[in-house]
Chain A
Amino acid sequence: MDRVDGVDPVDQRRDDDGHPFLRVEGLGKRFGGIQAVADVSLDLARGELLGIIGPNGSGKTTLVNLISGFVRPSAGEVRFRGRRIDRMPPHRIVRLGIARTFQMVRPFYELPAYKNMIIPLFSPRVRGLVGGKYGDRDAVALDLLEEVGFERDAFVAYKPAGALPQGYLKRLELAKAMALEPELLILDELFSGLSLAEVASIVPIIEKLRQGGMTLIMIEHRLRELFRIADRVVVLNHGRKIADGPPAAVMEMDAVKSAYLGAAAETAETSDPETEAP
């Protein structure tokens, strides 16, 4: 892809100016009487792949909403490359280079898949990066979709999004975020609802993104697949961070075991084999 020509990657790195790539400090959010996220701090280095795991309702999605600006924190701060972003509206955060996907994919069902890509490609961030308007957004859209596995020969990209199976919808969601040329990509349960084969076909795309220097945060329930690619894992329980470290070490910790087993016993979610540690 030749679209990032305008930006010198070395230049971007110098921009960080000694600041950590992403720093979350004492972040908290209350919804009415519920403390959804409490006093979460974490650092993320450029190029890292961080997994965020935890039982249902442990505040993972709220944490992502806080970082991406969709929810205002009631305490703490978020800094991206030294810049405070926790008071910014979500679209400005995207323009700084943080893109995210949503757990519930809601594409524009009546539009063809590639037309769904137009909105991110219309984004000021993308227009800013390539210095002006795209000659042909459709062509760029088709390229990106091919990258995430929309076979060009099969014309899947021309089908209405409403006619696509879940696996393609998730890929479309990923492609929409990738279109923004982010520096930090947050994937909220990208693997949920996918078959093992579908997950296996998406993992190489993520690995390719990492080779390109992308920093990623992945919220996942599919621990087996996540642990194969994650450098580090943060475990949340009841909105608090209870562990932070390499995947293997984290899963050995007693607090994590009891959080998962406890949650499993309380909510009887043992039916999902993926929540169990590898």
Chain B
Amino acid sequence: MTERRRERIDRGIKKRSEDVFALASWREMLYLAGPRLLPVALVLFLPPLLSPYWQKVMLSVGVFGLLAVSWDLLAQAGMISLGQALFFGMGAYGAGLLDRYLGMPPFLSLPIAAVLGGLVSTLLLLPVLRLRGIYFSMVTLILPLMLVRVIEATKIFGGTEGLSGLTPWPSVWVEMYLILGALLAALFGFRRMLAADYGLVLKGIRDNDRSVTSAGINIYVYKAQALFIAAAVGGFAGAFMTHVYLFVGMPVFALDYSILPIAAAVVGGPGGLAGATLGAAILVPLSEALRGFGGLRIVFYGVFLVVFIVAVPEGIFSFVRRKYHQFERWVEVD
């Protein structure tokens, strides 16, 4: 009896298109550009084909995709956030307040709220950056949950009622392409950033902060920068949603906004942001499909988290990428 083993071999087209700068054929160019063009094409052409209900789902994909990208960005710099709701909520309240009290139009309140939300979140978490390990997770987990009680108690920003009757986006298409465009921009932009030397420093801080410090680099500055970027991305998602719901209130700090992004990043595969986006594109619609299960959905998320992080830590994205670049065959070994 002969034993067999599975062999993975790079596809010929991968090898051909990898090193040669003058690409020989359209096929090769498509092979290289395909993985980048596919999400762009989906974003451009899919929404008009969907029913209004699934359009809303697609909108959620954009929002949770941004939150997942933000989470992954932080994780790359060694900060494991359990409270994306903090960033989301800060941006959401920022936009709500700018709209209500300054009468700012959405296109202005969105960027300002994102930056302001990012700044406030960064300031709140700044002291934790001096600590290694799980302190960051602990503090990000409890801050949004405590802030809810603060709003409840002090009745600031509309208290338990929240602020309603805010300004909507001009049309559903603006809404749709704005958030999906932002997701694509964040995905490709921050992927580039992580691949550059700057990203290397961030990952260096995660893997061996002493080594980075001994290179004369102030790791707090870099951690704070990464935190601000991630918080602003999360804040952007929150500010955007404020003008979709036309309302902002305590639910923006709810645990849901923390859990789903983490689940998306973990299921899709942390590191590199593409996994996080793919994870959101899978989990959000899945979550809609499972709506009949009600509260059981969150149980599923919990189980997904455990199963993926323990058994499939590299996530779905790396599986897809491997299938794209390599083929497998069984070979006999003696």
Chain A residues packing against B (C-beta within 8 Å)? 68, 70, 89-92, 94-95, 99-100, 102, 106-108, 111, 115, 118-120, 122-126, 137, 176-177, 179-180
Contact = CB atoms under 8 A, between A and B. Distances in A.
- Closest 5 A-B residue pairs measured CB to CB? A94-B216, A120-B215, A123-B216, A125-B216, A123-B215
A91 B218 contact: yes
Nearest to B198: A122
Contact of B213 (A91, A124, A176): A91
Interface of B: 197-198, 200-201, 203-204, 207-208, 210-219
A124 B197 CA distance: 13
A119 B203 CA distance: 10
Contacts of A125: 216
Given A118-B197, A122-B197, A108 B204 contact: yes
10 contacts: A91-B219, A94-B215, A95-B216, A102-B210, A115-B200, A119-B200, A119-B204, A122-B197, A124-B217, A180-B216
Nearest to B207: A108
B207 A119 contact: no
B214 A122 contact: no
Given A108-B204, A122-B197, A102 B211 contact: yes
Given A70-B210, A108-B208, A176 B215 contact: yes
Given A70-B210, A106-B208, A91 B200 contact: no
A177 B198 CA distance: 19
A89 B218 contact: yes
A137 B198 CA distance: 12
B207 to A, nearest CB: 6
Nearest to A120: B215
Nearest to B212: A119
Contacts of B215: 91, 94, 119-120, 122-123, 176, 179-180
A176 B197 CA distance: 15
B211 A106 contact: yes
Contact of A91 (B197, B203, B204, B217): B217
Given A119-B200, A137-B197, A90 B214 contact: yes
A94 B210 CA distance: 12
B310 to A, nearest CB: 21
Contacts of B213: 70, 90-91, 94
Most chain A beta-carbon neighbours within 10 Å: one of B197, B203, B210, B216: B216
Given A91-B218, A137-B197, A119 B210 contact: no
